[in-house]
Structure 1
């Protein structure tokens, strides 16, 4: 059985999808199967390091990227399928070629955000991208997604034309050394800060987290700090960073809420290892990688009752009401005041994190690939 894995999108992929693609490629190499021969469209490390289309700003640059992507999906990738005589094509970036192919297709649709939150995307781009997704779901195509919540959401928008399988993904394998000086540079003490790591996309509800933290400080009179690490939202429509910066000033939280910006893997490890708790108030997620990452580092997690996060944490996190500032503040206060609760969450989280291993991730793919 010959399987072609499309890794072209790594030249622009960020956050969750990049992690998914890199960890899938690594798992393929780490856990080979005697009945499956894998072919990578690109070397994952080289493609991920390609800077050609990263950080494009002008309309011409964006147009060139879209033309390059379209050319790859509709001409070069089908040619690769023919060249390697692939039995299965896996596209982990939502889109499969519109062209007719002789092989079976497995297309990963990570979430239903494009349908659920149209306000977060430019209208023309969303229309174009959804058209590509739908046109690629043809012939012998199956969808893979990350949670039962995402599966149900996708079904509600695409119907049951294509079978959908749920395969839980894995967090990034961070093997770099810890930047032990990073926490000191930020001026925070170990176990005296809450942390959130990720972009400032609107769906992450980070302004709400800032307001909840302000309430937490007012009611506890503690020296805790809040670290919001990560870059701006992926578009002007999705970016809450300016709102968070304004809130910090309005609520007089300078020096209390810290924005270190983009952080390296070594700095992420330092943030995790020194955190009192991870807070994830997102209003919509397809999976929620940071929950698994934090639990794996032995950090208690507070997360919203958004269905995918509840599914992933499976009772190992402290749940707050989505969009409720005071409830989130109360959960933060509860965790800070009850050491036994914190220790229980740490133990449950470490156990839950074991369910998201690279070995299980690739085993589920292998099982699906060999099912027909």
Structure 2
């Protein structure tokens, strides 16, 4: 949402005027509902969200009378509206992976999604893979268009002090950035890295940046912590938690390669993000990741530890392969620019109504 808002302002269209319900920069810095929350805090968040989406937003539509309402977060109001709706549904995880969500919450959220799919609605999703997945679960009642996302702009100055803080000065390391959701397969990555060290006697480290998964059911952070201790990897695997944009930028600039073993993604923003920094990328052969990488990454069979290990060893030993992947990745990352991102929205907004 933040990157879309930035792109809208950076690349205006003479025939399109956007009205923001919130000031994007200010809203993105609101930490009211971030971090560890009690059940009461989580409930208050959902009540706040429901009130906003189902009552306040329809009132704003009546006030401003837009031609198109863009809802970039799965849910459009259940109320009848006079305008077209573009509802962004990033992936089909709620249908594909029910075990990862509390049953009551999943039922509630799916109900919100379905009630908002009405009238002149068009769904926007992130890859052809996500489109096929959504058609499988929602049918073809609503037209679905694919718009590739753009990575975070990371405009902050690079902060190389993070390298010193984490003991990575003049140190080669593999990088992964993201939450410890179960679908990210970070326990698999941790075990594979232990085998990589045994086989290669390498001094490389593994850096897993990010916080816990979104719920107790989805969170693999405790499992990774336990594996690090059991496998004696305390000096080899670094878990720094959340970091600033400047710190993230510095880590991208100095990493050896990016590892992305996820079993399910709707898009996979880390792939074009890492490629934009010239990093070779090893990723699972999950359909969305294959689509986004488009041959510029090094795929392995999803969930296959031996295949992942083989690709890590191959990359470690083959400098020409590293260089080739780096060059291909930089070219591929150009397909995910902010300008292309917002221009795709312009095209859909300006086409004849449904």
User: What do residues 7-50 of structure 1 show as CA deviations (whole Å, max 9, x unaligned)?
Assistant: xxxxxxxxxxxxxx001001111111111111000001111122
Determine the structure 2 residue equivalent to 1:94: 74
Query: Who is 1:122 aligned against?
Result: 102
Structure 1 window deviating more from structure 2 (243-252 vs 186-195): it is: 186-195
**Which sections of structure 1, spanning at least 5 residues, go unmatched?**
1-20
**2:211 partner SS:** coil
In the alignment, which residue of structure 1 is the partner of 2:93?
113
**1:202 and 1:238 in contact (8 A); partners too:** yes
1:353/1:191 Cα in 2 relative to 1: closer, same or farther (>3 Å)? farther
Deviation at 1:149? 0.4
Q: Once the 2 structures are TM-superposed, how far is the Cα of residue 191 of structure 1 from its aligned partner? A: 6.0
Structure 1: how far apart are the matches of 2:112 and 2:170? 47
Aligned pairs for 1:60-75 within 5 A:
60-75=40-55
What does residue 331 of structure 1 align with? Answer: 311
Equivalent position of 1:9 in the other structure: none
On the 8 A contact 1:320/1:331 being kept in 2, the answer is: yes
| Aligned residue in 1 for 2:22 | 42
Residue 137 of structure 2 corresponds to residue 157 of structure 1: yes
Give the alignment partner of residue 174 of structure 2, picking from 187, 191, 194. Answer: 194
Equivalences, count: 352
- Cα drift, residue 254 of structure 1: 1.1
Please state if 1:267 is matched with 2:247. Answer: yes
Q: TM-score scaled by structure 1? A: 0.93
Does residue 1:315 correspond to 2:298, yes or no?
Answer: no
- How far apart in 2 are the matches of 1:329 and 1:360? 36
Q: CA deviation at 1:270?
A: 1.1
Whole-angstrom distance in 2 between the partners of 1:191 and 1:175 = 25
- Unaligned stretches of 5+ residues in structure 2: none
Distance in 2 separating the partners of 1:51 and 1:168: 28
Give the Cα–Cα distance (whole angstroms) in 1 for the partners of residues 3 and 235 of structure 2. Answer: 36
Structure 2 residue 235 is matched with structure 1 residue 255:
yes
* 1:140 matched to 2:140: no
Do 1:190 and 1:276's aligned partners in 2 also have CA atoms closer than 8 Å?
no
Measured after TM superposition, the shift of residue 189 of structure 1 is 4.0
Q: 1:177 aligns with which of 141, 153, 157?
A: 157
Once the two structures are TM-superposed, the CA of residue 64 in structure 1 deviates from its matched residue by: 1.8
C-alpha separation between the residues in 2 aligned to 1:339 and 1:200?
30
CA distance in 1, matches of 2:168, 2:15: 51
Distance change in 2, residues 1:56/1:64 (3 Å): farther
Say what the alpha-carbon RMSD is for the aligned residues.
Answer: 0.9
**Mapped partners of 1:55, 1:276: distance in 2:** 30
The partner residue of 1:238 within 205, 218, 237 is 218
User: Aligned equivalents of 2:61 and 2:5: distance in 1?
Assistant: 18
Residue among 182, 190, 195 paired with 1:215: 195
Structure 2: how far apart are the matches of 1:203 and 1:351?
28
Structure 1 CA distance for aligned equivalents of residues 100 and 246 of structure 2: 31
Q: After TM superposition, where is structure 1 displaced by more than 4 Å over at least 4 residues in a row?
A: none
Distance in 2, Cα, partners of 1:169 & 1:315: 18
The answer to whether residue 336 in structure 2 is matched with residue 369 in structure 1 is no
The 10-residue stretch of structure 1 (261-270 or 96-105) with the greater mean CA deviation from structure 2: 261-270
SS in 1 for 2:19: strand
Within 2, Cα distance between the matches of 1:160 and 1:191?
51
Question: Which deviates further from its counterpart, 308-317 or 51-60?
Answer: 51-60
Q: Give the superposition deviation at 1:58.
A: 2.4
- Post-superposition offset of 1:272: 0.5
